[in-house]
Amino acid sequence: MLNSIHQSVPVNSNAIQCPVCHTVCDSPPLYSYTASQAAAYFCPEMRDPERYQRLKNCIQRLWQSDSLVILQCQNCGFGFGYPFIGGDEEFYQILHEQKGYPAWRWDYDVALQEVLEPTQTGKLLEIGAGAGIFLKKVRQSWNCYATEGSESTRKDLKSLGIQVFSDLDLTIESHQQSFDVVVLFQVLEHISDFHSILDNCRKLLRVGGKIVITVPDGEAMILQEKITGCPDMPPNHINKWTPNSLSIALQQHGFETQTAIFEPSSWKNFRGYLHLKIIAEATNPRSLASQIYRIKNKKIRVPLLAVLGISAMFKMLPYFRDLRKGGAFAMIGSLKDKQ
């Protein structure tokens, strides 16, 4: 299992301020991870030694160190990795070599039900649009734009007739103060320079425009590690947002915020916990999960992992009441005036 090392890495917390509310974080670190642990979480060494080593080298370069600690502000609840730096283009290129984009998510329904449906039309920007699953749904009624860092994904979005930019600076050059809605679906947890992102969103929205943000729930991510042994690992997720800290950050950039909307409970979330438990066990090269992951034939590997899930379920029974809970929340902000 991937073992986090509590309070074991020297860090002068008295000198570190919360990136959101700027309160000095004087509590001991919640967790500590080495670059080897982080790389093994994203790609166990026994599964792909070469890819694991590339990830480890990249993470060490980002951290300028072999370790990172997780701190949590006692004032606003914001959790963050220190060194405070998220993954860069090289990291995500390696990370996504074996990953795809998710299908329709609850996040999209929140935006449709709470913001888009009453208006039915307008100018919409999605930041970090991925494969454009959400924009495909709304493009018949809305004039859709996107920002996306991946060149190949930008080509796919353009083929759908969606105008896409490689970054927000380029978007601002031609579309400042013109959008009715800006959406970020589980993007802000990846970005250490989130103040710049929120400031750019303010510049892009017209007065009265709305921003819809969904992020993993920081408290749920901390509980996830306790239940499964599988961390919410940086540098992928460098931020652990709470409703309080996200509301503070939005207000700092001129937004009035609404009450957070939490992801509903579902047995799909329970299956997700099972998957994470098995992933955590697979990081131990001597575990049964690790041996199963070595099997190249997917038709054999998947049924064996399903059987292993039964064992994982019994190990998590003490947390049964928490296993269906959603792990994310949404927040809507309105731009009332320009600063």
Cβ atoms within 10 Å, residue 62: 21
At the topology level, CATH places domain 106-265+327-335 in Rossmann fold (3.40.50)
Amino acid symbol at 179: F
Span 119-153, pLDDT tens digits: 678 999 999 988 899 999 998 889 999 998 877 78
Q: Quick one: pLDDT band at residue 3, thresholds 50, 70, 90?
A: very low
- Name the residue ranges covered by the structural domains of the chain: 13-98, 106-265+327-335, 267-322
Q: Which of 218, 180, 224 is nearest to 201 (CA)?
A: 180
Tokens of 137: 């749904």
How far apart CA 338 and CA 265 sit, in angstroms, is: 38
pLDDT at 6 over 50: no
Average pLDDT over residues 68-90: 95
Residue 147, strand partner residues:
127, 165
* CA dihedral angle for residue 155, residue 146, residue 127, residue 141, rounded to 10 degrees: -130
Q: pLDDT tens for residues 237-269?
A: 999 999 999 999 999 999 999 999 999 988 888
